[in-house]
């Protein structure tokens, strides 16, 4: 199953993904206290590709990637959001 992860070289820690994920009560995006209080994605809670909400509101090009392939999902590729 595909999963998401944060590319910390690109992420600006704006926390839009955290707010969106919390708004839909998934709470898969969280602040990891170790090592640097950075945003991370809990793969046990994240339902990607079933849910793609965080991808639609992330403003940092390339900061959320598919963990298995390293493929950038920001901005969201058309197949992720076009039905």
Partner 1 sequence: MHPILEEFCEKWVWPTMPGALGAEFRLRLTREHCLKGWEISLNRTLAEIDEELANDDEEWKKHRALRGYAAEGVHMSIKQMSGQLLSVDIADQERYIDLQRMRARQIWDECKHSKLHADVLLGKGWIKSEPELMHLAQANAQPLPAYFGMSMMFPHIHPLARAAQNYYQEANACIGIMAYLDRVADPLVRHEHLSQRDEELMHFMEGKFQIDFLCTSPETQRPVEEALGYLLHQIGGISPSPQPSPRARGKGVRGGAEGG
How many residues belong to the site for partner 1 (CB under 8 A)? Answer: 21
Q: Are 80 and 55 spatial neighbours (Cβ–Cβ below 8 Å)?
A: yes
State the minimum distance, in angstroms, from the CB of residue 12 to partner 1.
5
Q: How many CB atoms lie within 10 A of CB 73?
A: 21
Asked if 55 touches partner 1 (CB under 8 A), the answer is yes
64 binds partner 1 (CB under 8 A): no
**Residue numbers 6-25 binding partner 1 by CB under 8 A:** 12, 14, 16, 19-20, 22-23
Residue entry with tokens 């990637």: 65
Contact call for residue 80 and partner 1 (CB under 8 A): yes
Distance (Å, whole) CA 37 – CA 61: 21
């Amino acid at each position: 199953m595909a999963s998401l992860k944060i590319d910390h070289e690109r992420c600006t820690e704006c926390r839009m993904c955290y707010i969106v994920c919390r708004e839909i009560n998934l709470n898969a995006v969280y602040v990891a206290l170790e090592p640097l209080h950075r945003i991370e994605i809990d793969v046990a809670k994240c339902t990607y590709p079933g849910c793609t909400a965080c991808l639609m509101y992330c403003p940092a090009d390339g900061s959320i990637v598919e963990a298995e392939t390293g493929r950038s999902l920001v901005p969201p590729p058309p197949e992720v959001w076009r039905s």
